[in-house]
Structure 1
Amino acid sequence: MMKHKVKCINLLVTSSLLAGGAMASEECGCDFTLPSSHYAFDGAEQGILPGQTLCLAAGERGPMKLINIHGTEAEPVVVKNCGGVVETTPYHYAITVQQSSHLKLSGTGDANNYYGIRLGGTLGIERRSSDIEVNNIEIYRADFAGIMAKTDPTCEPDTHAGNYTLANLNIHHNWIHNTEGGEGMYLGYTGAYRTLVCDGVEQRVYPHDLQGLRVQHNLVQNTAAEGIQANSLTQDTLISDNRVSLYGQDPFAAYQNNGIQIGGDHVALENNVIDTGSGNGVIAIGQDIRIKNNTILNAGSYGIFADNRPAPDTPMGQAGLPHQYINNTIIDSAQEGIRSYVRLTDGANLVWGNIMINDGSPNQYGAARFIHYLNNDVLRDEQNNHHIIRN
């Protein structure tokens, strides 16, 4: 059997407590243990190596900072609970992960608790972190977003697009609920650029890309703003098998109240259930977006609203790749089931096999709450879509 060397970080305890902690750490397979009385772990200072495990001692604790922790793709560093549930007292943030890569933050350290880490505040992934996995964690009562994953561009060049990419963020099997001011998940930077004064000169700085995003099998409930918001997406995004309910309950600004919001290109949104909220079930802005096999219920506006926002005077066929809306079931949206402004694309948008179910009452303009397009610049291939009017 493999033996593990256990390091308890800066811990002063009696010999009996140390022995008990070491035994629990051995059972969890820990190489390092962060006691509940400690709030920070610096991987560079502590010498943690790829493939090693940092355990969080069970019990109630304050907020934590995890910094300078680097694994590899083949051997990530694992951070997990040990000996029971880890629970942070409610605060502005619960855990911040900074300047780290190939790290797995997991609440699977106790077989008796599916969510072995309970965070009473935001989980932040920031300061040029990348290749982070988050699973089996409960997040509640966050002041703003439940999970915040981005690095704002500053005057420092290493925060700019092209110099840093947030890659391979994998968020799965988490429960996020009752955010008090913002989104369930806020992933990637929102906005095309920032205008800053750097060394006395005003300049535009552009945010990092978000690539290889995976958001799957999460439960997101009762959020003040969007349930899941992902922006600056540039390639290979999959958002699937999530359940988002009671979204946009107290948005901080107009239009910040959608179930799932996508901003970017080359995205698949599949097999999600989006149930009851004040805004759109899905809003998708970008090119090459596939929205397939989702169930959307009781959206306060459109079931799906989509746009690609081409530049003025863009010729037909030059506004990027089209969208696909396939086999979605949209029930009782306040406005149309699908409204698409995705125009001037290189090929037709596919609108296949969608079902809209409602009571047959018209929208605010007197039109059927079915499918609507901005104009004939929206190229489309429509097949087997159905509007079912409930008696």
Structure 2
Amino acid sequence: MKDPSPTTERRVRLAQKLPRRVLALGRARDDGRTGVTAVARLDRRTKDLTKRLQPGEVAVIDHVDLDRVSAEALVSCQVGAVVNVAPSISGRYPNLGPQILIEAGIPLVDDVGPEIFTRLAEGDHVRVEDCTVHRGEEVVAKGTAQTAETVETALTEAKAGLASQLEAFVANTMEYVKRERDLLIDGVGVPEVSTKLAGRHALIVVRGYHYREDIATLRPYIREYRPVLIGVDGGADALLEAGYRPDMIVGDMDSVSDDALTCGAEIVVHAYRDGRAPGLKRVHELGTEAVVFPATATSEDIAMLLADDKGATLIVAVGTHANMVEFLDKGRAGMASTFLTRLRVGSKLVDAKGVSRLYRSRISTWSLLFLVLGAFVAIVTAVAMSPAGDVISPLLADRWHAFVFWLTGLFT
């Protein structure tokens, strides 16, 4: 539910290679002023803001403990600067987002206060200089300008807060077990789907950490094992971008494109426990049928529970949360379901990086070349020793010359 939009992801590679060049466009003006001068875009939900940000614009957000996925989405949009109403590092845990922005050369002004949402309007031209936000000559907001040194210091101090966060995590886990005991233990509430998962591998793609690299490394595995491809919200677009059509799309449908929803995949809409499913309306408007899965877990968690309940023999996860910091980066509300889902799925679940390290194609390229060469030598020997060799040899020679002529033509 927290993955960046399809529009921002299509620009991620360019953003990572050229952010400093793009950002420099607004850094200096002819009037001698420094800082970033650009149009301001405001939204309290970072995920929604990244859908309409243009390169060089100033993003005004309200995001306590800016997480890694949101920061990478902002980088991919090539923002000129980020102004955060809340502290980007509160000290609860060492979140990864601010460091990503600073390393990309994006100015980050922290803790400017909620008043900026009333003082600024969407589309206003602003100038972000040091720790101050200006509109013309007016100072609209003032906060803390983050640097590599301040972020490093804050991250070091935040590591001390891990103990209290783990205590809160334990309490949250117990509450989640009480709510979803039947689903976790007995699979009660898992809907029936038409996609056949029994006895097959399932590849679940979340547009999260290093998903693009993971999909690339799994190409030999996908080609050989033909797993059921399950995209979690924007993960469906990630599969399409990689050249694969998802067999199933799971999620609340707020971060997936219309192209993905109409590609022919089976749709499973994530609903609240009371049955409300905001994403169902959008699916029906596209003329597509859907199955509803009510649960308080996250979308990636219900995708794993669904694959496990329907008999998948192996579940390979791409872009999901794999360690303690990533769990915390996700937010405490979603930590318990992810942790308990992994316990429920057990040994079936394998991270994509583990598969890429362990899996090797059964037939290597060199083995295939030696096989072809051996077959060619055997044919030549058989023709030479055959009584009909005098007849066949000129024919093979003609074919060989024709092949060489065709091959030469490709490079001339």
TM above 0.5, yes or no, is: no
Q: Which has the higher contact order (CA 8 A, sep 6+)?
A: 2
Of Structure 1 and Structure 2, which has the larger fraction of its residues in strand? Answer: 1
- Bigger helix fraction: 2
Larger radius of gyration: 2
TM-score for both structures, normalised by structure 2 = 0.23
